[in-house]
Structure 1
Amino acid sequence: MAQIRNFGPVARLRSDASSHVIRYGNAGIRQSGRGLVFWFGPRTSSIAEVPMDDREATLFVKGRSQDFQAVTVQGMLTWRVADPELLASRVDFSIVMTNGQPRSEPIERIVTRLAGLVSQTTLEYLAGAPVRALLDAGIEPLRARVETALADAPSLAEIGIAVVAVRLASLAPSSELERALQTPTFEALQQKADEATFERRALAVDKERAIAENELANKVELARREKLLIAEEVENTRTRATGEAEAMQVEAAAEAERIRTLETAKSEAELARMAIYRDLPPAVMIGLAARELATKLDRIDHVNVTPDLLASLAEGFRKMPPVVDAR
């Protein structure tokens, strides 16, 4: 915005580099340029200030498709002044001589004209196709069509306005229609998700079956090995029992042989002793018997000697052979 300082009958104006200032006087242009600083007479001059920087305007168009469905378009439009003197001659950009404020709202008028052109082009485009085709095509065909329409619009060229860029953010139906259109896609995605879930479950079942089969195979193998182990233990037990039985048989045979040998020796000794006793006289036998009896008794209280016993002893002594002295 231009800065104006008044000094009595004259004033001094200082403008920014982003503004094009046009000073009119005596039915013509006295000065024109960007970032001017000059003195002027407020009563004899008229000044217009045209902004030269890029400006943006918000776009919002609500229309109907060929099948009578509500569609909303949103975006941004960037424009600039191509010919400031031409624009100042068609649109009032004059400022107040005392403070530099605009006398009217020229920017709003330009934005309104741009929005009208965009709305006309957008409504024609939306009405030319059903909503499904519009949504499938996206925003790029509409953006290109709006940009072409604005570039070729004579109503903009004749006032010195140029469109820099058109950016569309969305092309969307109403919320109810959007939900209705999303339902088939949502159902298809849900179906794919269910199929993926079923496949995952089937895969899990296959893995569980493989694990169960592996466990069963392990159990069968363990049972087989256990059977072999039991058979080996039975065989070892049988072998051990057979060995112990054979050892006991050998031991019993040895013990029997020892007893047999001992008894044979006792029998032979007894036979030899009996042979010795067989040749002894009765008196000697009686004496030996008496001695043996005496060894078995703890004490002798009394002894009975009968005449028969004495007669037998005397007869025995008589029959005994005489003892020869070897000396």
Structure 2
Amino acid sequence: MLGFQYFKADPTVHVIQTSSGQIKRQGKGLSFFYYAPKTSLTAIPMSAKDVPFIFNLQTADYQHLRVQGQLSYRAADPQKLADMLNFTLNENGKEYISEDPTTLGDRVVRVAQGVIQEEIQTTTLRQALTRLKELDTRLKTALISSTPLQQLGITVIDAMLVALTPTPETAKALEAEARESILKDADDAIYDRRKSAVEQERTIKEAELQTEMTINNKQQEIAEAELDNQRTLTRKRAESRAEQMAADISAEETRKALVELAQTNKKIEADAEAYAIEIRAKAASSVPVEYVKAMAMASMDPQQLFAVAMDNFAVNANKIGSLHIGPDTLNSLLKDYNG
């Protein structure tokens, strides 16, 4: 009534009451009565605002790239913001008289767009698609230290890039190229696997050949050792036979010497015996035959004597008419013979 109004601000809204060009009061969450015809109210929200953004940029190789992201900001210095932009409410204190409060988010997004565009336009499409994390970090750092935002009294709390998307045609081309690259990598992997298998097979074959060569060398060494042993045994056997032959020759020579000596001895004995016989013969030739026979008969046994007698009878048979030998005599001779 009568031009007086009641105003109550939210706790997150900074209010500046100005009358006749002088600031009467300011602060967050104020409530008061004011005279509308002479009072100007400025209401600046202090709460954080989230603003999504999507814009198309061109890369260094003239390819279109869509950048999608989101940022959060708040009014850090409401006095600066009030000086730079119009946040004045109408006489009823319900609505803003300017579009500045509604376009504040666009101002922040344009600053972000300028930062990203500066990075994108110096890189190719392929490079940009692989720099999402790097661009995200660069965007945060640039917005936090942005001079235009600081002049407005705005602080960026956070900023992130959600996606970097090429045009559908370019995306298909990149997909085809990536697919071909993947297939090539798959073929290379198959080739590498086959090559590795061949190399492993070759390694196994070489190991088997090496093992076989080692076995052959060992067998050759064993055969050579056996030949050496056989040669040694043959040489030793030959030496043994030579030694045995030498011993046999020595024995034969000894036997020959013994035989020659025995023959010499026998010859000497025969000569001695012949000489003795010759001497006895000479001696016997001078002795009468009857004496010799008598001496011989003296050493004879009865059977021999009987034989000599029978020989004499046979010699003088023409002189003997008859000869009778009795059974007693024969029995005696046979008894002595058998006994």
What TM bracket, shorter-length normalisation?
A: 0.5 to 0.7
Letter of the 2:133 counterpart: E
| Aligned-partner SS, 2:73 | strand
String of CA shifts for 1:229-275, please: whole Å, max 9, x gaps: xxxxxxxxxxxxxxxxxxxxxxxxxxxxxxxxxxxxxxxxxxxxxxx
Shift of 1:120: 1.6
Paired position in structure 2 for 1:30: 24
Paired position in structure 2 for 1:63: 57
Q: Does 2:128 correspond to 1:134?
A: yes
| Correspondence for 1:155 among 134, 139, 148 | 148
Paired position in structure 1 for 2:170: 177
Letter of the 2:61 counterpart: D
The structure number with the bigger radius of gyration is 2
Letter of the 2:15 counterpart: V
| Correspondence for 1:119 among 113, 123, 147 | 113
Correspondences of 1:136-285 after superposition (within 5 Å): 136-137=130-131, 139-190=132-183, 192=186
Give the fraction of aligned pairs with identical amino acids, expressed as a percent: 25
Paired position in structure 2 for 1:321: none
Paired position in structure 2 for 1:316: none
Runs in 1 of length 4+ with deviation above 3 angstroms?
A: 187-193
| Correspondence for 2:41 among 20, 24, 47 | 47
String of CA shifts for 1:129-166, please: whole Å, max 9, x gaps: 111111122x1111222222222221111121111111
Q: Is the 8 A contact 2:56 2:64 kept in 1?
A: yes
Shift of 1:187: 3.2
TM-score by length of 1: 0.54
Paired position in structure 2 for 1:21: 15
Letter of the 2:165 counterpart: A
Shift of 1:189: 4.2
String of CA shifts for 1:96-149, please: whole Å, max 9, x gaps: 122521111223332232222122221111111111111122x11112222222
| Aligned-partner SS, 1:182 | helix
Shift of 1:188: 4.5
Letter of the 1:136 counterpart: T
String of CA shifts for 1:12-51, please: whole Å, max 9, x gaps: 1111112111100132211111111111111111101111
String of CA shifts for 1:268-312, please: whole Å, max 9, x gaps: xxxxxxxxxxxxxxxxxxxxxxxxxxxxxxxxxxxxxxxxxxxxx
Q: Give the structure with the higher percent helix.
A: 2
How far apart in 1 are the matches of 2:181 and 2:154?
Answer: 49
**RMSD value over aligned CA atoms?**
2.2
| Aligned-partner SS, 1:50 | strand
Q: Is the 8 A contact 1:61 1:122 kept in 2?
A: no
| Aligned-partner SS, 1:43 | helix
Paired position in structure 1 for 2:329: none
String of CA shifts for 1:58-100, please: whole Å, max 9, x gaps: 2222111111111110111111000112211211111112252
Letter of the 1:172 counterpart: T
How far apart in 1 are the matches of 2:181 and 2:142?
Answer: 39
Paired position in structure 2 for 1:231: none
How far apart in 1 are the matches of 2:145 and 2:57?
Answer: 23
TM-score by length of 2: 0.52
| Correspondence for 1:105 among 68, 90, 99 | 99
Aligned length: 190
Q: Is the 8 A contact 2:86 2:101 kept in 1?
A: no
Gaps of 5+ in 1: 1-6, 200-327
| Aligned-partner SS, 1:74 | strand
| CA spacing shift, 1:188–1:90, aligned 2, 3 Å | closer
How far apart in 1 are the matches of 2:116 and 2:55?
Answer: 7
How far apart in 2 are the matches of 1:145 and 1:181?
Answer: 25
Q: Does 2:86 correspond to 1:92?
A: yes
How far apart in 1 are the matches of 2:61 and 2:155?
Answer: 35
